[in-house]
Amino acid sequence: MIDQLYNPGKKYITFISFQLLVNSMSMNITRKIISSHLAEGEMIPGREIAITIDQTLTQDATGTMAYLQFEALDIPRVKVPLAVSYVDHNMLQAGFENADDHRFLQTFAFKYGIYYSKPGNGICHQVNLERFSKPGNTMIGSDSHTPTGGGAGMLAIGVGGLDVAVVMGGAPYYLKMPIVVGVKLSGKLKPWVSAKDVILEMLRQCTVKGGVGKVFEYYGPGIATLTVPERATITNMGAELGATSSIFPSDDVTKEFFRMQGRLEDWREISADDDAEYNEHIEINLDELEPMIAKPGSPDAVVKVSEVEGTLVQQVIIGSCTNSSYKDLMIVAEALKGKKVNQDVSLHITPGSRQVLETIIRNGALADMVSAGARIMETTCDGCIGLGSSPPSNSVSVRSFNRNWEGRSGTMDDSVYLASPEVCVAAALNGKITDPRKLGEYPEIVWPDTFVADDSMIISPSDNPDSVEVIRGPNIKPLPKAKPLSSDLEGKILIKLEDGISTDCIMPAGPKILPLRSNIPAICEFVFSQVDADFPTRAKEMQGGFIVGGENYGQGSSREHAALAPMYLGVKAVIAKSFARIHKANLVNFGILPLEFAGPAGYDAMEQGDVIRFSRVRELIESGATALPVKVGTNTIECTLDISDRQREVILAGGLLNYTKMKHS
């Protein structure tokens, strides 16, 4: 049982026993993994630390830019033990752009030492859980739902693509030492109640802001009743809490999952010490849970299904990286067997991986779904990011997804509910939101002895990289370059926004916009297009300026384009009441100041169009100042800058890419 640990004084990975690094102090799992990968800093909550990374993950909507950034570092081969590039988002090939990006990603991976999961192999988080997860490993991924790996005992963290690029270049990953919240699960889920209801209950209790700066570590007798895919549903959607990550132990349940995957050699036990301590505690009795549902607009608008029962439904989608596992789809197939989908409902089903799809083809479950009237979609993210399956206008869609921000589906007046596959299939059959316990006896799922283990759609890196040509399509444009921070900043407030602005709102997705991820000048035309279509024109005419935001600004997806595109448009700072973790890091990575109002009056005193001025800001940041006064007319408003000393250097350099190149030049 070994872990891979970066040696800060050398340029290579050394191998060291996990147990040698765990001191006599009682530890939870999170602290054990961090201590075994600690490269810099002290494990004091809130302090910046650096950890070495065992695995990186990218998907095609973020990967093209991440690899262009890695290429700019001029490093011939990735330096992490395992890097995997997935294609699962931009699968709609209505033009050449997506197909060109896929060809770029495959040839780039072949040349630079990265495994490549081909289009159709499955959703990154599901495939990674099946084929690459390793208990006790660290992983970062350029997708906010990377913590899915925590279902298999990994410390897996969603980050921006530039963070992934720098780590692939050999650097550790920097983060604030998280608060570890112990979540004790007791009891056992009742029939028709699922793991999705566990995380919906967490969201009901904690809200979308409740996990910022925290890792949720699950323990207690109830965890033994949950399979690895069920645990992964909980850790996946823990991203909606704003959490750094979520994690379960690696135990006999995990061992059985790895046996069924034919990867028993990758399994190892990892658990908290018997007297492990946690910074905070939550307890959930699984016996007491009932079917839950998140109402439109936010994943934390959670109520019991019984409270909205009877609401008419026009669309149901089952899938996404949250609920597309074998068990999820088998429950649905059994519930549909011998029945028909309601005539007023369009039911879409998306298997999470080629493995899941092939398994339900072989056992006949797919035929039951088709016979019932379901539409079977490709193994992709599909409707979750509005790349297909957009609902009709002014309609209700019930989805087993993880997010339901307004307009994310691709339909601006959508009404998207989030629920378990059980609740979804009940709605599909009855044409209205229905408590699934009314469907009768809960299906008994027959598990295969082993899963299909065909990795032929995962392409290994080349043994002769010098002979590989990276193929680029015309939509792939050069990286925009940021400039070092100026001493004085002045400009107008380009837009003022309310609380809860998501990265979907800042930089929308969808089939029209996502293919432009590798073309920053083109994608910039869509910044804030859902709330203010004139923003890009105004930003260019004013040669940049400032953004004012409310609470939890930048929540949701890890998409770094929500920082990169504003940087290209000349945004110098975002001043908000508070920030979501990943977006704040992305702003720093692209040289944009993430400032917070020191008091509630500051937000009220600023309006769109106001001219604001920062004087000697470079000198203040260099001196370590945390208070940055800003002039608005004749008034002075106090703002705070809560970033580490290293991040100050990144801001001064004009972003992480400039900083990294300076450090290694």
pLDDT, tens digit, for every residue of 59-87? 999 999 999 999 999 999 999 999 999 99
Q: Is pLDDT at 107 greater than 90 in this prediction?
A: yes
Residue predicted with more confidence, 337 or 383: 337
Question: What CA–CA distances, in Å, run from 663 to 205, 580, 588?
Answer: 44, 28, 17
d(CA 488, CA 504): 31
pLDDT band at 11 (very low <50, low <70, confident <90, very high): very low
The mean per-residue pLDDT over the stretch 131-146 comes to 97
**What pTM did the predictor assign?**
0.93
Taking residue 492's Cβ as centre, other Cβ atoms within 10 Å add up to: 17
Residue 652: CB atoms within 10 A of its CB come to 17
Q: Tokens representing 466?
A: 């010098």
CATH numeric code, 291-439: 3.30.499.10
Amino acid letter, residue 131: R
Higher-confidence position of 22 and 572: 572
**Average pLDDT score over residue span 304-314:** 98
The residues of the chain that CATH labels 3.20.19.10 are 489-663
12-52 pLDDT, tens digit each: 333 333 334 444 458 999 999 999 999 999 999 999 999 99
Say what the alpha-carbon torsion angle 364, 365, 368, 372 is, to the nearest 10 degrees: -150
* Residue 110 pLDDT exceeds 90: yes
Domain topology for 489-663 = Aconitase; domain 4 (3.20.19)
Give the H or E element holding residue 103.
helix 96-112
pLDDT digits (tens, 9 = 90+) for 461-504: 999 999 999 999 999 998 888 899 999 999 999 999 999 999 99
pLDDT of res. 481: 84
Residue 160 and residue 144 in contact, taking contact as beta carbons nearer than 8 Å: no
- pLDDT score at 365: 97
CATH of 2-287, one of 3.40.50.300, 3.40.50.720, 3.30.499.10, 3.30.505.10: 3.30.499.10
Mean pLDDT score across all residues of the chain: 94
d(CA 568, CA 371): 50
* Sheet architecture: strand order including 302-304: 302-304, 292-294, 415-419, 396-399, 315-318, 346-349, 375-376
Average pLDDT over residues 454-463: 97
Distance CA 214, CA 177 (A): 9
**255: which 2 tokens?**
């061992």
Measured CA to CA, the distance from residue 281 to residue 272 in angstroms comes to: 15
The pLDDT > 70 percentage for the chain reads 96
The backbone torsions φ and ψ at residue 253, rounded to the nearest 5 degrees and listed phi first, read -65, -45
Task: Name, of 6-15, 463-472, 506-515, the range with top average pLDDT.
Answer: 463-472
Contact 126, 149 (CB under 8 A): no
SS3 state at 178: coil
Reading phi first (left if > 0) and then psi (alpha if -120 to 50, else beta), residue 393 is in beta
- CA distances to 160, 245, 563 from 582, rounded to whole Å, are 7, 12, 10
495 token code pair: 């837009």
- What are the start and end residues of each CATH 3.30.499.10 domain in the chain? 2-287, 291-439
pLDDT above 80 (res 130)? yes
What is the token pair recorded at 559? 């998409």
Q: Which tens digit of pLDDT belongs to each residue from 597-637? A: 998 899 999 999 999 999 999 999 999 999 999 999 889 99
**Tokens of residue 463, six digits:** 């043994």
Going by pLDDT thresholds of 50, 70 and 90, the confidence category of residue 90 is: confident
Q: Are strands 138-141 and 55-59 parallel, antiparallel or unpaired?
A: parallel
DSSP type of residue 579: B
Contact yes or no for 383/408 (Cβ under 8 A): no
pLDDT value at position 94?
86
State the CB neighbour count (10 A cutoff) for residue 110: 22
Looking at residue 19, what is its pLDDT? Answer: 39
Helix axes 252-260, 228-237, angle to 10 degrees: 100
Question: Buried (b) or exposed (e) across 141-157, using 16+ Cβ within 10 A?
Answer: bbbbbbbbbbbbbbbbb
Answer yes or no: is pLDDT of 182 > 90: yes
Measured CA to CA, the distance from residue 303 to residue 180 in angstroms comes to: 26
Determine the Cα–Cα distance for residues 522 and 68; give it in Å rounded to an integer. 17
The helix/strand count (H/E) of the chain reads as 23, 29
Q: What pLDDT, on a 0 to 100 scale, did the predictor assign at position 25?
A: 59
What is the pLDDT confidence band of residue 665, given thresholds at 50, 70 and 90?
Answer: low
Residue 21's pLDDT is: 41
Strand positions, DSSP E, 159-314: 173-176, 179-186, 214-219, 245-247, 280-285, 292-294, 302-304
pLDDT over threshold 80, residue 326: yes
Asked if residue 108 lies in contact with residue 101, where contact means CB atoms within 8 angstroms, the answer is no
The three-state secondary structure class of 446 is: coil
Which helix (H) or strand (E) segment holds residue 38: the answer is strand 38-40
**What interhelical angle do 656-663 and 60-72 show, nearest 10?**
30
Alpha helices in 209-280 (DSSP H): 228-237, 252-260
**CA distances (Å), origin 175, targets 38, 209, 213, 244, 592:** 11, 18, 9, 9, 18
Beta strands 627-632 and 635-640, pairing class: antiparallel
